Structures are given as C-alpha cells and as structure tokens.
Structure 1
C-alpha cells in the first residue's frame, strides 16, 4: 500500500489547526479538543456554549467546500480499508478518548503546548499505538 504524503498541504493543514487552537484559547479561553467539542453538542443546557461548538464543527466541515471553491473539484478521499473497519476503528478511538481523558487534538496540540505531563504521556501513547497499528497492518497482516 502506497501513501501519498503531501508536505505542503500537510504543513498548511497543521498551521490552520494550530491557528484555530490559539484563537479559541485567546478569544474564548477554551481548549481545542475536537472530541469534547462534538460531545458537547449533545448537551443543550448552555446555549452560548452550544453555538460556539456548533460553529467550530461547521467550520471544520466547511474545509472541503473551501477546497471546492479554490480548485473547482472536491478533495479526493481514499479509504484503504472497508467501511466496517472504519466504524470499528472509530469505536476503538472513542473508547480510547474516554479512558485517555481527551483526544489527539486536545492532548497533542493544546496539552503539549501547555507542557501538560498527562498530555505528553497521552500523545506518546497515541503515537506508539499508531506506529504499532501501521506495522501490524502493513507488515504482519499484509498490504
């Protein structure tokens, strides 16, 4: 299985995520943890907070539309695994987020920037798990 790494678009995407995290902290005093933001959309007890979360999710989902406006075509998304594998992977990530007290964006971007030891341990765990998963799926199982 070949991976198409695009350094400039990856750098641009990372810079935009970092900018969003800094602006959310500077303007609202909030940490950009995507899983927490999505989870908060299920609670309707704080309307201003709900609208902020909804605006963030809409902004994230609008990325492909901005790409369409800029290039005239939708971005190509290739899933190298089946839909059931994606669903199972999502459920596993959801369990990990619950036990880890946050997601990769909350720990990896915001927590590490604040020198949180807990976030550093969580990020090392995320990365080690990702490396092991790629190794097993590509070299032991096949692909």
Structure 2
C-alpha cells in the first residue's frame, strides 16, 4: 500500500469536505461543480458570479500551484514531464463522453460533487438515488470496457 498516496487522498478529501462546509456556511450554497459552472455561464442569478469565479479559479489554480511546487499531478500523466496523458479512447470518444456527462448532470440535477459530497451529507433522498446510480453506471462501464471490449487491466 502506498501510504503517501493514501495520505494525499485523505488530505484532499478533508479539503473538499471543508470547502463544501465553508460554502454552505458562508453563502448557503451547494458545492456542486456543474451547478456552479452552469450558473456562471448562464449568469443566473444576476450579481452572483464573484464567488463562482473564485471557486472555479481555485479548482484550476490548486493543481497548477502543486505543479509549481514540484508536487506533480499524481497518476494523471503517463510519463514524466507530461502534464496530461493522451486520451485512452481518442479525442472523439473523449468529446462524446464530455457531452454525455454534461447531459447527465442536467438530467440528474447535479454532479458527483453536488450529490455525492453535499447531498449525502444532508441526507437528501434524491442525492442518495443519484449517487447509487453514478456508482452502478461506473461499475458497469468499467466491466464493459475491461472485460467485454478488452480495454486492458
């Protein structure tokens, strides 16, 4: 077991939880990325964009700061010196996946961060159903890609 990676995951999880608590306590908002970004793009409600921009900049600047300090990006890249590895299924499949994820967050009224982190902690029945659905779909996808399509280990 890689204790350093486990500790990094633990610290990351705690920071995600604290950011969700901070946002709820200070602004009464849910830290769901799809809702934050979606409402930033559509500019609704009016005058509500400053904290959304700060949140998104924090998401982007955190990994950049980690890289600048020599921390790397964990297992994101396939080789030293790469920032992000090549898409496993090609760019077209990656674009299709992005569109499907975007449609899914619209249909599901949120994403994994909104439902899984914030919704479950509030004991929201809708978030419980959504999170179980996310997990089942992920399990089925991994099974199909690895065992039916033969996509590797």
| TM band (smaller chain) | 0.7 to 0.9
What is the CA-CA distance between 1:74 and the residue it aligns to?
A: 6.1
- What are the ranges of 5 or more consecutive residues in structure 2 without an aligned counterpart? 78-83
How many correspondences in the alignment?
137
Q: Please report the TM-score for the alignment, with normalisation by the length of structure 1.
A: 0.87
What is the CA-CA distance between 1:134 and the residue it aligns to?
A: 0.5
The answer for the alignment partner of 2:145 in structure 1 is 137
The answer for the alignment partner of 2:99 in structure 1 is 91
**1:100 correspondence with 2:99:** no
Hey, what's the Cα distance between the residues in 1 that align with 2:90 and 2:132?
A: 27
Whether contact under 8 Å (1:36, 1:102) holds in the other structure is: yes
Between 34-43 and 72-81, report the one with greater CA deviation. 72-81
Whether contact under 8 Å (1:24, 1:32) holds in the other structure is: yes
The answer for the alignment partner of 2:69 in structure 1 is 70
Higher helix share: 1
**How far does the alpha carbon of each residue in 1:12-53 deviate from its partner, in whole angstroms, 9 at most, with x for none?**
222221111011001111000100000111133522x11111
What is the CA-CA distance between 1:136 and the residue it aligns to?
A: 0.4
- Is the alpha carbon distance of 1:84 and 1:113 closer, same or farther for their aligned partners in structure 2, counting shifts above 3 Å? same
Hey, what's the Cα distance between the residues in 1 that align with 2:62 and 2:36?
A: 17
Greater relative contact order structure (CA < 8 Å, 6+ sep): 1
Matches within 5 A, 1:36-55: 36-44=35-43, 46-47=46-47, 49-55=48-54
Hey, what's the Cα distance between the residues in 1 that align with 2:72 and 2:148?
A: 37
Name which of 131, 135, 138 aligns with 1:127. 135
Q: Please report the TM-score for the alignment, with normalisation by the length of structure 2.
A: 0.82
- Is the alpha carbon distance of 1:54 and 1:121 closer, same or farther for their aligned partners in structure 2, counting shifts above 3 Å? same
- Classify the secondary structure of the residue corresponding to 2:123: coil
What is the CA-CA distance between 1:71 and the residue it aligns to?
A: 1.4
Whether contact under 8 Å (1:43, 1:50) holds in the other structure is: no
